[in-house]
Structure 1
Amino acid sequence: MLRTPRSIEIILAFGGFALAWLRHRPQELPQRFKQTIERLGTTFIKLAQGLSLRMDLLPKAYRDALAELQSRVAPFPGAEAIVAIETAFGAPLDQLFARFDTQPLAAASVAQIHRAEMPDGRAVIVKVRRPGIVRQVGRDLRLLRRIVRGATWLLPGLRRQRPLALIDELGKQLFGELDLRHEAQNVRRLAAALRQQGGLHVPAVIDPLVTADVMVQEFAPGRPVSERFGTPAGEELAVSLLDAYLHQLFVVGAFHADPHPGNLFARDDGRLCLHDFGLVGSLDTLSRQALGRMLEAVIYRDAEAALASAIELGFVAGAFDRRALQRGIDTILAELQGQPLAEWSLAETLWRIAQLGAGEHFRIPRHLLVLLRALFLLESTLRALDPRFDLVGELMKRREVLQTALAAPVAGPAGPRPAGQLALRSVRDLPRLLSHWLQQAHADDGRPPIAIHHRGLERLESRLERVGNRMVLALLALGLYVGGAVLMLHSAGPWLYGVPIAAVVAFVAAAGLSLKLIAAVFRSEGL
């Protein structure tokens, strides 16, 4: 039985989606795109799940559809899992475990999980990577890059979105997820950081039983957290979850970035249990402080402080109109004032502020998108556990957590922020800013760095680049026309139907370049 080449399969799948897009049924397209990705299998499912983080690139309907992607794959045989385990650890299975269930507990596109028991009686799970998955992902990524490179040649407008850079970014993220040592490292880091959080449990990694292909972890039974939605127990779990995330974000600087209900389980002792540590975000000290100041500024409707925090976080880059951005932030914060505090979405507010600073040539850094996605999921889960959950009110009750990040007193929830606090913040930041400025001057032979921003030059630069490209195309086409004419006059080379073949090739190539040039001119609606 003949099998369709993988490259043709990919082209046909996306070609079918393109045809659906041409039929102008926008409401159906997100689900159609999701179905297209599912048909292409593991690599594209995982890439699309990563793409669902890109709130700066995809509309919400597409992000929601991709976030629902599930890998419909059958488990691989238990015998193959045993071979992988014995190869990974270099010992027979019966020396590693007192009992091992060959029937998997759960199976996904990247790995499957088996229950087992250690020789000392501890109940564990064994996560085994799917055989051949790394080779398959590498092959699919190479094919995808070739297809996208061809598409950008045919459709130069795609280059503005930097699709090849995006594929490289998503591919790097995917290969990190395929290495179970990476997940084990995330588990260890968060387990150590959250040990003091009484309301949260992280299943421990069983060292040294960790390799790129296999990871052994403590078995932590629990009930789906969805069973606690809207109950008194759910209200307690919501408080525990908020405390755990404030600790992760403002004290630890590392956080579980996928807190949706499917990764949370309620234990019999009343604690929450976190699972799936493939995606963990991180914040350095300055980012933690900036995030704390941002939340404080949103609560107090301080547009100036919110803009300063947005710049520190990296939501704003390059040249920008400070007054225009501050007015935009003030408008966003003013809209919040008409809503009850319990209905405020801090994640939505941060995302809208980030969008203000994302210009045509700026893409929000991935670590900030991971943070925003985690905040959206956290808010959604908190309000599912407790529909009346007042996030702003709970944050105000925990001002000391923000104080740790801000290293300055926080005023009460009523009235304007004290002027002394604003002055203290400026005085506190002055040594750091002066030190940074002097370091830059020292690195540049003692010359103080002074940045001058010209507004509008980016558009002029882009236009000049397009003009230059068109001139090159025109010169190439002209050269081919002249060359073809010379070959015709001298009757050079082999002939076909009385015409020199070399001359025909030159004329065809010149015509192709001419058509490409004409199409570019029409797309720009002028010369």
Structure 2
Amino acid sequence: MSKYTGNGLPRVRISRRRSGIGLAGDTVRGGLRVMQTLNVLARTGAGWLSGRRPPTPVLLRETFESLGTTYIKLGQLIASSPSLFPADYVEEFQKCLDRTPVLPFPVIRRTIESELGRSLESLYAWVDTQPLASASIAQVHAARLHSGEDVVIKVQKPGVEHVLVTDFNFLYMAARVVELITPGLSRTAIAGVIDELQSAMLEECDFHKEADNLERFNEFLAATGNDRAVAPKPYREFSARRVLTMERFHGVPLTDLEVLKAHTDDPTGTLVIALNTWFSSLMLCDFFHADVHAGNLMLLEDGRVGFIDFGIVGHMRPEVWQAMSQLFEGISQGDSQQTAEAMASIGMTREKVDVAALARDIDAFQSRLTHLDPAAVLEGGRNDREVNKVLMDLVRIGEQHGIRFPREFALLLKQFLYFDRYIQVLAPEMDLFGDARLDVWGTLDRLH
């Protein structure tokens, strides 16, 4: 079987060019956003001077939440980056919630009609005025096409992209100030996280790219002969940069064992499909779904597993995945020596690693992994606290031995922990790496 490849996603950079609005309008709105940011910072400073002085991680988290979209996303990224930030910051920013109000439907209507150039009634036979979900970047509504297909419409909130560009420019200028008041953070870590968040969030604002991801994931499934999993089909004729119309999936999420059992006689088989599909995508697709909490996996009415929400995707170099696969297998089998050797291979080391000493320290981590509460993972959410605590423990062990992990390590390990917990709750009789029905490693070996 040949390896499926697609066009790589271009890296997005902050642009100061016009984007459909006048340069003067950009300048005015940018100035207003900067003033709003400075006002929040001034209030924070005034509170500090008046005697309200919580720990620095708490102060930063509260300030980020007051600043809105960009900073909340930055906080969430800090929460999932224990390889880059001190533990007290990672733990505190796990409380950083994306609280966004629902926009009135007339605002949603105007955006759809402006982007697609037609009246809402000519585009859709029916649109639910109450949203299915509302996040910082977009709001999602159920709808039906005139041809009868059930769809969902993802509509970008007005002004989001402009706010992001303005905020990122401000963040770069403010980085040195942040260093002065938070000496526990390194400039390299801050710059790296800002750069990664900038690229991801600006790409997320271009719904053409998310439509590309959906199509390419389904092409990967077809190329590998996988008819047991599927991603929503995008409707290009009803989509634009800020509007994405997608096939609506009907089914149940993989969040509740009793609900799952009511819809299938083989919950273990459902998990095997999801696992084989996701692991195979690491090597056979040019990106992988990087947020596989249970809310983004569905058992559809026809028995297939639906992968939804491709707003967060990752990219994996083959050599990194080979080392990661050894790490996952070592953790699963309780093989501390293999785990230690894989960690030394993955990490960016500052000195020669004593693998034997590292293996001894990993034994304690294996105990923590065994006692992780699996029910918490099934609640969904990208910042699951128990998963992060285990991840942070492993990172600390590595750092004690001179290892600094790349961010892709944390991203992949977190997805692995999610799957491991799903199995403990939904199919405890199945061995993640040893079950004959789960042929991840055999499949990858045959393909290479």
Q: TM-score range by the shorter chain?
A: 0.7 to 0.9
Q: For residue 175 of structure 1, give the secondary structure of its aligned residue in structure 2.
A: helix
Measured in 1, the distance between the counterparts of 2:190 and 2:129 equals 42
Q: Cα offset for 1:22? A: 5.2
Give the structure with the larger helix fraction: 1
Say whether residues 1:210 and 2:251 are aligned partners.
Answer: no
In structure 2, distance between residues paired with 1:64 and 1:157: 14
- 2:252 match: 223
1:363-402 equivalences in 2 (<5 Å): 364-386=405-427, 388=428, 390-392=430-432, 394-397=433-436, 400-402=439-441
Provide the residue aligned with 2:43 in structure 1. Answer: 12
**Structure 1 counterpart of 2:444, from 393, 405, 413:** 405
Change (3 A) 1:220 1:356: same
Aligned residue among 155, 172, 184 for 2:199: 172
How far apart, in 2, do the equivalents of 1:18 and 1:199 lie? 60
Cα offsets for 1:444-479 (capped at 9, x unmatched): xxxxxxxxxxxxxxxxxxxxxxxxxxxxxxxxxxxx
Residue equivalent to 1:416: none
* Residues 323-380 of structure 1: per-residue CA shift (max 9 Å, x gap): x134303542587499979999999988766555558997533333221222233333
Match of 1:108 among 132, 135, 150: 135
Identity of aligned residues (%): 25
C-alpha distance in 2 between matches for 1:379 and 1:15: 47
Moved more, 259-268 or 355-364: 355-364
When normalised by structure 1's length, the TM-score is 0.63
Q: Distance in 1 between matches of 2:270 and 2:46?
A: 47
Match of 1:282 in 2: 315
Corresponding residue for residue 81 of structure 1: 108
| Matched residue SS, 2:235 | strand
Give the match for residue 200 of structure 1: 229
The one-letter code sitting in structure 2 at the alignment partner of 1:212 is R
Alignment partner of 2:352 out of 321, 325, 329: 321
| Distance in 1 of aligned mates of 2:365 and 2:299 | 36
Q: Please give the residue correspondences for 1:118-157 in structure 2 after superposition, counting only pairs within 5 Å.
A: 118-152=145-179
The aligned length equals: 399
Deviation digits for residues 466-517 of structure 1 (CA, Å, limit 9, x no counterpart): xxxxxxxxxxxxxxxxxxxxxxxxxxxxxxxxxxxxxxxxxxxxxxxxxxxx
Listed as ranges, the gaps of 5+ residues in structure 1 are 409-427, 429-527
Residues 343 and 390, structure 1, Cα contact 8 Å, conserved in 2: no
Contact 2:235–2:245 under 8 Å retained in 1: yes
- Name the SS of the counterpart of 1:72 in structure 2: coil
Describe the SS at the equivalent of 2:255.
helix
CA shift, 1:215, in A, is 0.8
- Determine the C-alpha separation between the residues in 2 that align with 1:19 and 1:275: 47
Bigger RCO (CA 8 Å, 6+ sep): 2
Q: Find 1:41's aligned residue among 63, 68, 90.
A: 68
Q: Distance in 1 between matches of 2:183 and 2:368?
A: 45
Number of the residue aligned with 2:276: 243
Aligned mates of 1:376, 1:244 — CA distance in 2 = 16
Distance 1:84 1:105 in 2: 17
One-letter amino acid matched to 2:418: L
5+ long unaligned stretches in structure 2: 1-31, 375-385
| Larger Rg, first or second structure (1 or 2) | 1
Structure 1: which amino acid aligns with 2:127?
F
CA spacing shift, 1:347–1:58, aligned 2, 3 Å: closer
- In 2, the alpha carbon distance for the partners of 1:236 and 1:351 equals 31
Residue 332 of structure 1 aligns with an amino acid whose one-letter code is I
| Structure 1 vs Structure 2 CA RMSD | 4.2
Letter in 2 for 1:105: L
What are the superposed Cα offsets for residues 376-401 of structure 1, whole Å, 9 maximum, x if unpaired? 33333443434x35444x54435743
- Relative to the length of structure 2, the TM-score reads 0.72
